[in-house]
Amino acid sequence: MPPSLITSSLPATPSDSESDDPLHSLLLATDLIPLAEDVTKFAGVDYATSQAGILEVTLNGTIVKIKHDGGAAGCGGKVWPAGELLSRYLISARDNETYLAHEALWKESAKRKIKIIELGSGTGLVGLAMGKAYSLATKDCAVEDAGLDIVVTDQANMLSLMEDNIELNQLEETVSAEVLDWGTDLPDNYINPCPDVILAADCVYFEPAFPLLEKTLLDLTGDNTLVLMSYKRRRKADNRFFQSIKRSFRIEEIKDYDEYKEFSRNTVFLYRLIRKTLRR
């Protein structure tokens, strides 16, 4: 795998924002942060101990700048291997008809806005990587009222970090940041219409949150929604989430990707989820 993360000399200020409800704020609980020995190293980067700063993440030739807080606001404020995997996959597929494992979407984006929501975005890496790749690929052929409409979401304590990274990458026209707490009622604009694509990287790590994540996925998805989920296996209990959502989704492991073997060898996996036919 080519080098991916290079830390620049630019310092970043840790976020001071906190959730108003610390009992509800999953990301602020220190016992939710994966143990250091449980974290995979890629390209010599220890994701568990990297310090706050600006990362230049190079993904198959596309550079995304990421301000991160080194975990000051919880594990969401750092870059993790599952986020790198999903970002790499999205970018690697951008120039062919298997883009997003859904050949119609790339062509459709030339005609209309493709609605994309990322859950548990943290720094926003995945949504930003997709936005950057699309922006570079279409810089000379942009069409008004077409393209990608990407919303990166997380809890309130992550909002300023996501907004900073959108600005850092000059993606304000393609990517926006919003607060979304799993398990809560969704605003009408999230589900009318349902998203074309949902992205989720390393969202399966805290068992009490599994029903909340499942509810949000069920509320967001329609018959034609594609869910792309990357996941670092850490605990046997994680399987309970996938066993539960199998009742509502077809789950396929995405193995036909050149770099996947190295990630999966380190228990970082990539899945495609398609909603089973909804009863009307």
Per-residue CA distances from 116 to 67, 122, 229 (Å): 22, 16, 13
Amino acid at 60: N
> Which residues are part of a known binding site for S-adenosyl-L-methionine?
80, 120-122, 154, 182, 201
Distance CA 266, CA 247 (A): 28
> Which residues are part of a known binding site?
80, 120-122, 154, 182, 201
